[in-house]
Amino acid sequence: MCGIIGIVGKKEVAPMLIDGLKRLEYRGYDSAGIATLVNGGIERRRAEGKITNLETLVAGSPIGGTMGIGHTRWATHGLPNEINAHPHANDRCVLVHNGIIENFQELRQELAAKGHRFETETDTEAVVHLVSDFLSQGMTPQEAVAASLKRLEGAFALAILFTGAEGLMISARRGSPLAIGYGDGEMFVGSDALALAPLTRRICYLEEGDWAEITADGAIVHDEAGAIVERAIRQTATSGAMIGKGNFPHFMLKEIYEQPAVIGDTLHTLLNPWNKVVTLQGLPFDLTRIPRVTIIACGTSFHAGMVAKYWLEQIARVPVDLDIASEFRYRAIDMQPGGLSIFISQSGETADTLAAQRYAKAQGQHIMVVVNVAESSMAREADAVLLTHAGPEIGVASTKAFTTQLTVLACLAIDMASKRGAIDAARAAELCSALTEVPSRCNEVLVHDEAIAELAREIMDAHDVLYLGRGTGYPIALEGALKLKEISYIHAEGYAAGEMKHGPIALIDEYVPVIVIAPSDNLFDKTASNMQEVIARGGRVIFLSDAAGIKKLGNMAAATIELPTVDPFVAPILYTIPVQLLSYHTAVLKGTDVDQPRNLAKSVTVE
Ligand code: G6P
């Protein structure tokens, strides 16, 4: 989703802005631009497509200046072309925006009637003219921004420069994230700490409704009412060194291979391998008194929530409601007081999930978040934060964030089950043992990488691919299908194996590969029957199972991948890896942009 960078500095700023935009690339975008102030006047360069296009443009037509703003745009209003690319400007100010101005039509009409001339199809341009309208009434930039913010509806993060006001940048945030970075005689703003990582690690996150006057010497932060407020400056854990690709051709492959290590890191924070006890420290509520759990998330994180629903219901014996955030937030549900609501998000910034979190908070729920970014909005507003220690995830298709989410949620299930007396100490120790083995079992799965790359040749020409699973294998089927869609653009569906005969079985012929996820668990025989139904109709099955499963049924499948024999509790974590690799290799064979697939954004900060 749109990315913002702003610098009030002491050096030539254009190359620094472009570097910053490259660090924001992972969020997903379709055009990019920068603007600087030179002798009080605006210089601007924008280009459709990748940042390399912008770089070429700037190389041919350089711009100077020691302060500037930059933007990667993920189109919402108006085509992803140069004219709609940010920064947007008129003769009084220039700005970049992340989010959606919901009342832009009304503002446009009002300002057009006053003689403002609009050039783009964007919602953002309304802000340019609104601010400049107030400036033309004799207001200072600070007054003009404060007045404009009162008129804006929707979500936004903004960074604004003003002609004739050398040295001043104003930033504001409502709904969309924005961080201020403190340098040495230089100041920065960015959509996230990653954008600022090599520039500074001293970060201040604006609160909802805040706006800030930023100069090279520091920032004055105002709250929504205009009062000057102190916001803590923290040392972010994110460093520039963490965001390289190493020797891997793509971030996604690197992140798949990091899974044994980051699952281990995450486990270390929650589980003591010596006495085999999970310790979720310092929860501000009592897990034994929770009448009901609600889990809300989007995309891949939702699939992690779905696995957790099975775990919490089966192991901790607590009823769980599960929904995607964009639906949940408008269901107007009356939530049971004292319930626990769990929000799962890699970024901790997904607009729908954050809005759902605020709704649940207002309904008197205990709020727990499972996030990968400790400083994210969701983490800052939660009662309890369970961190995944996946490190920065740059590939748009989520991989290591998902398996570390599962790791955290598995620990939560064990802890809750133990505290509620749903399992005894011996069973808890067994489950903990199974979890502590996951990192090394993951390495055993990664050994199949080459074989999976071969299998991808059979998938790459398919028009449709079906993924089937039961129990916790069902969300993994959904996740496998999502991964394939996201990066190879092949239509894929994940289905509960037992539900297949209610529809998707009509799709089956020799051209539709069917990936069957079937660990030897209590549902194996049922899944096996569904697989036979596919084979009887000429379907080509790729069978993911363990030694026992493959011994029973492997000879019926077109291909098999043998996964380690594990406690079925941890199977969903391990069975994720082959479906990640299959989509990765299929995408590589198809030549798609694996790390930045078309139309997708890493962090979706609009509804
Ligand atoms: C986007 C990303 C997905 C991600 C989803 C939820 O769609 O492309 O990979 O699963 O958002 O993001 P979150 O940060 O809340 O986990």
Ligand 1 center–CA 350 separation, angstroms: 7
Ligand 1 center–CA 34 separation, angstroms: 27
Q: What is the pLDDT of residue 243?
A: 65
| Residue to mutate, 176, 303, 307, 347, ligand 1, most ligand atoms under 8 Å from C-beta | 347
Ligand 1 center–CA 603 separation, angstroms: 6
- Tell me which residues are annotated as active site: 2, 602
Ligand 1 atom closest to the CA of 350, numbered from 1: 15
Q: Cβ-count burial of 556 within 10 angstroms (0-12 exposed, 13-18 middle, 19+ buried)?
A: middle
Question: What residue's CA is closest to ligand 1, atom 5?
Answer: 299
Taking the chain (607 residues) in consecutive chunks of 10 residues, what is each chunk's mean pLDDT? 91 95 87 95 95 96 96 88 95 94 95 94 95 97 97 94 95 90 95 86 90 96 94 77 78 95 93 84 93 97 98 97 95 92 96 95 97 90 96 93 98 97 96 94 94 96 96 98 97 94 88 95 91 90 96 93 97 98 98 90 80
| Residue to mutate, 350, 408, 583, ligand 1, most ligand atoms under 8 Å from C-beta | 350
Selection from 182, 194, 274 nearest residue 219 by Cα: 182
Ligand 1 center–CA 397 separation, angstroms: 8
Question: What residue's CA is closest to ligand 1, atom 13?
Answer: 345
| Pair 590, 489: CB distance under 8 Å | yes
Selection from 83, 93, 6 nearest residue 42 by Cα: 93
Euclidean distance between CA atoms 106 and 285, whole angstroms:
46
Return the C-alpha torsion angle 484, 488, 489, 493, nearest 10: -20
Euclidean distance between CA atoms 130 and 153, whole angstroms:
13
Ligand 1 center–CA 602 separation, angstroms: 6
Ligand 1 atom closest to the CA of 301, numbered from 1: 16
Residues with CB under 6 A from ligand 1: 298-301, 345-347, 350, 353, 396-398, 600-604
Question: What residue's CA is closest to ligand 1, atom 4?
Answer: 299
Ligand 1 atom closest to the CA of 353, numbered from 1: 15
Ligand 1 atom closest to the CA of 486, numbered from 1: 8
